């Protein structure tokens, strides 16, 4: 399945990145130091704020191909409502999506995330747990904090803004402007120093996301 996900994500990147960058005027403000440090040999947790369904596509389209390739494969923790039907699974699972919860008692999204990370793959999490509306206060979930406390995983903070109130006419008129910032890598040691409480860690990591320019 890893090979399938990698191929599907490569195809999506190559097909959709040019029009996404053009119509949504994607601008990147990435930490060059972070981009240089990304290796295919280390499990990484990517976290971001969440403002639209397009966030994963926009964030990944902002990356240079060489960096995007080193990140592959990426596994997205996804709201279970998007993986309820066979049709949804047929489309989203090959793109790297896995459910944040399940009716199966034995299912654990944390254990599934650890399985990916231990294979030096990437896990992408939106700790806010949902798309936030304008003016809505964030309430990060503790999942990323739990992962940080499990093993030696580092975190890459990412912030996206500019499409909070996106209308289709703005897209084709190229009136939208999307700014995406990738911040410095937060080492596992640095993250663990925050607290032994996963909720506190998650909130502090998201604060670092919100502070990105």
pLDDT 10s digits, 129-180: 888 876 677 889 999 999 999 989 999 999 999 877 666 777 777 777 889 9
pLDDT recorded at residue 35:
85
Residues 6+ apart with CB under 8 A from 88: 82
- Ranges of residues in the chain whose predicted pLDDT is under 50: none
pLDDT recorded at residue 135:
65
Taking residue 93's Cβ as centre, other Cβ atoms within 10 Å add up to: 17
Residues 6+ apart with CB under 8 A from 190: none
pLDDT recorded at residue 17:
95
**From the DSSP assignment, how many helices (H) and strands (E) are in the chain?**
10, 7
Q: What is the pTM of this model?
A: 0.92
pLDDT recorded at residue 47:
98
Phi, psi for residue 16 in degrees, rounded to 5 = -95, -20
pLDDT recorded at residue 157:
96
pLDDT recorded at residue 134:
63
How many CA atoms, within 13 angstroms, populate the side-chain half-sphere of residue 42? 15
- Beta partners for 181? 159
């Amino acid at each position: 399945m890893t090979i399938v996900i990698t191929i599907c994500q490569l195809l999506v990147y190559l097909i959709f990145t040019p029009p996404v960058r053009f119509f949504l005027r994607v601008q990147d403000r990435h930490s060059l130091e972070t981009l240089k440090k990304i290796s295919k040999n280390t499990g990484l947790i990517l976290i971001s704020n969440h403002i639209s369904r397009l966030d994963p596509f926009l964030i990944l389209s902002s990356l240079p191909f060489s960096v995007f390739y080193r990140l592959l494969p990426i596994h997205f923790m996804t709201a279970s409502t998007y993986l309820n039907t066979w049709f949804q699974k047929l489309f989203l699972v090959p793109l790297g999506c896995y459910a944040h919860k399940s009716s199966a008692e034995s299912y654990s999204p944390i254990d599934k995330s650890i399985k990916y990370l231990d294979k030096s793959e990437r896990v992408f999490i939106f700790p806010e747990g949902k798309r936030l509306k304008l003016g809505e206060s964030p309430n990060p979930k503790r999942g990323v904090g739990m992962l940080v406390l499990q093993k030696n995983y580092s975190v890459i903070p990412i912030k996206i803004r500019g499409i909070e109130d996106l209308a289709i006419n703005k897209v084709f008129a190229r009136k939208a402007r999307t700014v995406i910032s990738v911040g410095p890598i937060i080492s596992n040691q640095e993250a663990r120093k925050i607290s032994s409480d996963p909720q506190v860690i998650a909130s502090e990591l998201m604060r670092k996301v919100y502070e990105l320019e």
